[in-house]
């Protein structure tokens, strides 16, 4: 490779000197923090559980912070520390229940974490990143923003809403040099999907549902974050990057057992 080509393209994914804030230290978030650190970023891990954030930060050689995305003051305090070059949020929760069986408290909790939490992060960090004239904000959505099944109604609604928030933020903050994108994972072996994997029929049905015929590991969700954080995606904003093993490309259905 010529020197000119190497200079232009060889460092496209290099994050050396970039400050990255990963909000949500469990599951996918822990692997995202590790991958970004491996590409040279200075990573801060924030989580509602300070111990989780500290453990991941120690693993990746970064810093930690406690934050509750459902608390406006908590998020504002985190943003007051300054604008990161990159913010990645993987926060999310689910209550698997039929719509008719949902309680008001359950619905409000899912909405508060998955949708309002991301809105609060955008509202707090969008302006400070815009003031810095740069930045990449990456929010983890889900294939459930596009395709649903019984018991996923509230979760799917929040993930679809998240995508629209990200698209709107891309439009509003784009002129200031800040990019906003979403990543939509398929079925990933994390604590959030433990209920599914504990049921053999359900687990196998999910594995067969994707084009690749298997579950994903959390580490397989990190390449999208590295790409969207880096200069390789400098003209990518308002997009949703599917990392679903072909789930949304093929057709199938499974009705899981549901309470309520």
Nearest to 118 by CA among 161, 147, 155, 57: 161
Give the active site residues.
Answer: 155
């Amino acid at each position: 490779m010529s020197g000119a080509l190497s200079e232009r393209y060889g460092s496209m994914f290099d994050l050396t000197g970039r400050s990255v804030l990963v909000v949500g230290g469990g599951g996918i978030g822990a692997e995202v923090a590790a991958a970004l650190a491996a590409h040279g970023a200075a990573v801060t891990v924030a989580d509602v559980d300070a111990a989780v954030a500290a453990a991941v930060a120690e693993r990746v050689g970064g810093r930690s912070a406690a934050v509750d995305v459902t608390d406006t003051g908590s998020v504002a305090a985190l943003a007051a520390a300054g604008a990161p070059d990159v913010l990645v949020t993987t926060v999310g929760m689910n209550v698997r229940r039929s719509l008719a069986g949902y309680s008001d408290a359950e619905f409000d909790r899912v909405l508060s974490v998955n949708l309002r939490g991301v809105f609060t992060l955008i509202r707090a960090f969008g302006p400070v990143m815009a003031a810095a004239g740069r930045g990449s904000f990456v929010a983890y959505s889900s294939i459930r923003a596009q395709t649903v099944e019984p018991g996923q109604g509230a979760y799917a609604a929040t993930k679809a809403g998240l995508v629209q928030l990200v698209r709107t933020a891309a439009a509003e903050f784009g002129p200031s040099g800040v990019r906003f994108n979403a990543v939509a994972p398929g079925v990933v072996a994390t604590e959030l999907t433990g209920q599914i994997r504990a049921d053999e029929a359900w687990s196998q049905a999910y594995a067969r549902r994707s084009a690749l015929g298997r579950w994903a590991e959390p580490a397989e969700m990190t390449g999208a974050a590295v790409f969207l954080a880096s200069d390789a995606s400098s003209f990518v904003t308002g997009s949703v990057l599917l990392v679903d093993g072909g789930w949304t490309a093929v057709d199938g259905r499974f009705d899981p057992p549901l309470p309520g």
